């Protein structure tokens, strides 16, 4: 790979030694990368915000002898998302979004459309909107990107018709079950029509069309529980940021 310059979201950082950092970025040009930046005199005020998680940067990088770890030669901040960092709830949800990306995206999986979804989500969170609703939107977009979208318009087991007002959702099966198939999962449960409509609409519509969607408190609570259980089951990980939010009372 030649030298690449790309917009990038910082996902994770670790200090290698006094003047070097190991950084994970999600980039527009090549997807997720892991790279080393050298010659950073730590700590210095001008570097403090540059290497904060979910900062949007423009980076230049190239291959090292170890092709899994790049050399980052330049890093210039584009957006620090300062409004997020003034609000504990929004900061927590932005950190959760970052952790989701880090845990689900493999190195080198390029997806420019998904990169734009990440940026849009962080910018929406910076506005006076519901942090929970923006996060649910991001979770749905992530599931679609990963090919894990739940099947909600027909039965996930037999392909039969589903009544939108009588949906039984199976976390294990990955979608709705018709009346004939509902017995294959004893843990399947009824789901509100508003929840189904929200998931279907968000999965299909562009980000600018869904950021202002409002839902009832009942649908919001159901979406939160459903997305959490679905992600934990199908991704196979529990997320530290989510546990932290429970501890501090953000959830």
| Confidence band for 41, pLDDT divided at 50, 70 and 90 | low
- Pairwise CA distance, residues 73 & 150, whole Å: 41
pLDDT score of 247 = 66
Half-sphere exposure of 34 (CA within 13 A, CB side): 13
- Pairwise CA distance, residues 222 & 189, whole Å: 11
DSSP 153: S
- Pairwise CA distance, residues 11 & 225, whole Å: 25
Local structure of 128: helix, strand or coil? coil
Dump pLDDT digits (tens) for 87-111: 989 999 999 999 999 999 999 888 9
Dump pLDDT digits (tens) for 63-92: 877 678 999 999 999 999 999 999 989 999
| The pair of three-digit structure tokens given for residue 170, joined into one six-digit string | 């199976």
DSSP for 8-61, please give it.
Answer: EEEEEEEEEETTEEEEEEEETTTEEEEEEEE---SS-HHHHTTTSTT-EEEEEE
- Pairwise CA distance, residues 211 & 121, whole Å: 8
Neighbours of 57 (CB within 10 A): 22
* Residue that is written with structure tokens 């459903």 in the block: 226
CA dihedral (66, 102, 140, 227) positive or negative:
positive
* Residue that is written with structure tokens 């999965």 in the block: 203
| Confidence band for 47, pLDDT divided at 50, 70 and 90 | very low
Q: Of 24-33, 38-47, 120-129, which gets the smallest average pLDDT?
A: 38-47
Does domain 4-80 sit in CATH 3.40.50.150?
no
Half-sphere exposure of 187 (CA within 13 A, CB side): 9
Q: Is the pLDDT of residue 43 over 60?
A: no
Q: Report the chain's mean pLDDT, rounded to a whole number.
A: 89
In the chain, CATH 2.40.50.140 sits at 4-80
Q: Which CATH superfamily is domain 88-248 in?
A: Recombination protein O, C-terminal domain (1.20.1440.120)
In the chain, CATH 1.20.1440.120 sits at 88-248
DSSP for 189-224, please give it.
Answer: EEE-HHHHHHHHHHHHS-HHHHTT----HHHHHHHH
Dump pLDDT digits (tens) for 9-25: 999 998 887 788 999 99
Dump pLDDT digits (tens) for 138-179: 999 999 999 999 999 999 999 999 887 889 999 999 999 999
- Taking the model in full, what pTM does it have? 0.91
């Amino acid at each position: 790979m030649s030298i690449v310059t790309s917009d990038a979201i910082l996902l994770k950082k670790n200090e290698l030694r006094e003047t070097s950092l190991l950084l994970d970025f999600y980039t527009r040009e090549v997807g997720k990368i892991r790279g080393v930046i050298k010659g950073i005199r730590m700590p210095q005020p001008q570097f403090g915000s540059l290497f904060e998680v979910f900062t949007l940067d423009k980076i230049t990088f190239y291959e090292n002898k170890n092709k899994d770890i790049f050399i980052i030669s330049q890093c210039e901040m584009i957006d620090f998302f300062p409004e997020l960092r003034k609000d504990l709830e929004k900061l927590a949800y932005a950190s959760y979004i970052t952790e989701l990306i880090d845990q689900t995206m493999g190195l080198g999986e390029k997806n420019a459309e998904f990169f734009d979804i990440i940026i849009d989500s962080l910018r929406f969170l910076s506005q006076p909107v519901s942090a929970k609703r923006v996060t649910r939107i991001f979770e749905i977009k992530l599931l679609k990107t990963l090919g894990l979208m739940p099947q909600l318009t027909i039965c996930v087991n037999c392909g039969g018709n589903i009544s939108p007002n009588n949906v039984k959702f199976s976390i294990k099966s990955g979608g709705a079950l018709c009346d004939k198939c509902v017995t294959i999962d004893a843990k399947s449960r009824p789901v509100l029509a508003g929840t189904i409509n929200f998931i279907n609409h968000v999965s299909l519509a562009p980000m600018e069309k869904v950021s202002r969607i409002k839902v009832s408190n009942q649908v919001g609570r159901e979406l939160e529980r459903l997305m959490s259980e679905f992600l934990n089951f199908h991704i196979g990980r529990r997320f530290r940021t989510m546990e932290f939010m429970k501890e501090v009372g953000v959830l």
